[in-house]
């Protein structure tokens, strides 16, 4: 099947190119790169040189994508809204990695993303791309909004409990991501001297992923993201008040039952770590119930660029195109 990657020169786009090199069914025939248009992929990203010795980035032109089996959009927030109307119905499936079509309520975009939505009529047509929770809707889907890295980790950690009806009131999500989550564009706050030996919070009470979490979980969310001095990885520590008496054993049983048979989810009694997921499409989860304070504490570790972005997008595409869900996706992490 023929695939296109729009925004292929960014971190998520680069990861999509990498994963597609080992995918048995997908061949990338178009890779767009915006300001990198015309440049060889091998020159821009030498790690891809052996896999793409002749591929060059093309301009972001919808016409070059028409007729492809799947198009992945790895663009900055806001740009997919202008491109999707030109692709819908003209390609087999669109998988958008940005937040442009994740929220069902168009009125939320001005508050959280700073402007009105350009294609509100299409919001209802998009399927939320978290396979472990929305697999049935993804089968055969033609428009898919893949969730972001923070919502992926938080939702995987908390959804088993909200769906079981054992959460009372608002929840708290405290999460830290590696700097690759901020993208490839240069920024003073992402320079080595700013990130190294530093750990800081940002987006206090205003982070744009908050309404996405609330939409899926059905509960109000207080979300505090942090930037960690590492390249890859994301760890979410989530807190909720149980609606009834729970023990840690009860909570672990709910987690295991929810994800029984899920090849990309590991439920463990040990606290998960980001190193356990580096380079893989797996999520590692655990949960505790603090009988002293009454809090339920659920944790999830993922690679923000794989399960939190490109890997999840490929997983969604596999389901939409009727392929093996795990095709092209690594189960094992890179260690050390």
The model's pLDDT over 74-102, given as tens digits with 9 standing for 90+, comes to 999 999 999 999 999 999 999 999 999 99
Catalytic residue among 149, 238, 300, 316: 149
For 122, phi then psi, to 5°, come to -90, -10
Domain with CATH 3.30.360.10 in the chain: 149-304
Task: Look at residue 189 in the predicted model and tell me its pLDDT.
Answer: 82
Residue 184 pLDDT grade (very low, low, confident, very high; cuts 50, 70, 90):
confident
Give the percent of the chain with pLDDT over 70. Answer: 100
Active site residue 149: yes
**Residue 50 — very low, low, confident or very high, per pLDDT cuts 50/70/90?**
very high
Within the chain, all domains assigned CATH 3.40.50.720 are found at 2-125
Full-model pTM: 0.96
Strand order in the sheet with 167-177: 200-201, 221-227, 167-177, 234-242, 296-302, 283-289, 265-267
CATH of domain 149-304: 3.30.360.10
Does domain 2-125 fall under CATH 3.40.50.720? My reply is yes
| Contacts of 301 by beta carbon, 8 Å cutoff, 6+ apart | 153, 233, 234, 235, 236, 272, 273, 274, 276, 277, 283, 284, 285
Report how far residue 111's alpha carbon sits from residue 310's, in angstroms, rounded to the nearest whole number. 27
Burial of 257 (0-12, 13-18, 19+ CB in 10 A): exposed
pLDDT single digits (tens) 244-292 = 999 999 999 999 999 999 999 999 999 999 999 999 999 999 999 999 9
Q: What band does 226 get if pLDDT is binned at 50, 70 and 90? A: very high
- Give the residue among 25, 12, 52 at the shortest CA–CA distance from 326: 25
């Amino acid at each position: 099947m023929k695939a296109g990657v729009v925004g292929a020169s960014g971190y998520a786009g680069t990861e999509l190119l990498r994963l597609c090199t080992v995918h048995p069914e997908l061949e990338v025939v178009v890779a767009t790169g915006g300001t990198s248009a015309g440049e060889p992929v091998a020159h821009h990203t030498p790690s891809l040189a052996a896999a793409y010795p002749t591929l060059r980035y093309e301009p972001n032109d919808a016409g070059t994508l028409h007729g492809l089996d799947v198009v992945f959009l790895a663009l900055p927030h806001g740009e997919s809204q202008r491109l999707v109307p030109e692709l819908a119905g003209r390609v087999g499936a669109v998988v958008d990695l940005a937040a442009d079509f994740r929220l069902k309520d168009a009125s939320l975009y001005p508050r959280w993303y700073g402007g009105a939505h350009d294609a509100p009529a299409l919001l209802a047509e998009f399927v939320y791309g978290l396979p472990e929770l929305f697999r049935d809707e993804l089968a055969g889907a033609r428009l898919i909004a893949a969730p972001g890295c923070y919502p992926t980790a938080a939702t995987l950690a908390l959804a088993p409990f909200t769906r079981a009806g054992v959460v009372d009131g608002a929840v708290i999500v405290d999460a830290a991501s590696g700097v690759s989550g901020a993208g490839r564009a240069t920024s003073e706050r992402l320079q080595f001297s700013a990130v190294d030996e530093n750990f800081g919070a940002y987006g206090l009470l205003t982070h744009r992923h908050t309404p996405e979490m609330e939409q899926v979980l059905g509960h109000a969310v207080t979300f505090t993201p942090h930037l960690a001095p590492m390249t890859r990885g994301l760890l979410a520590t989530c807190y909720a008040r149980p609606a009834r008496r729970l023990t840690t054993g009860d909570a672990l049983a709910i987690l295991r039952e929810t994800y029984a048979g899920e090849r990309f989810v590991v439920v463990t009694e040990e606290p998960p770590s980001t190193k356990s997921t580096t380079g893989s499409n797996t999520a590692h989860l655990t949960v505790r119930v603090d009988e002293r304070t009454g809090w339920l504490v659920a944790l999830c570790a993922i690679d923000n660029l794989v399960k939190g972005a490109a890997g999840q997008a490929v997983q969604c595409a596999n389901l939409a195109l009727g392929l093996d869900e795990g095709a092209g996706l690594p189960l094992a992490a890179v260690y050390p």
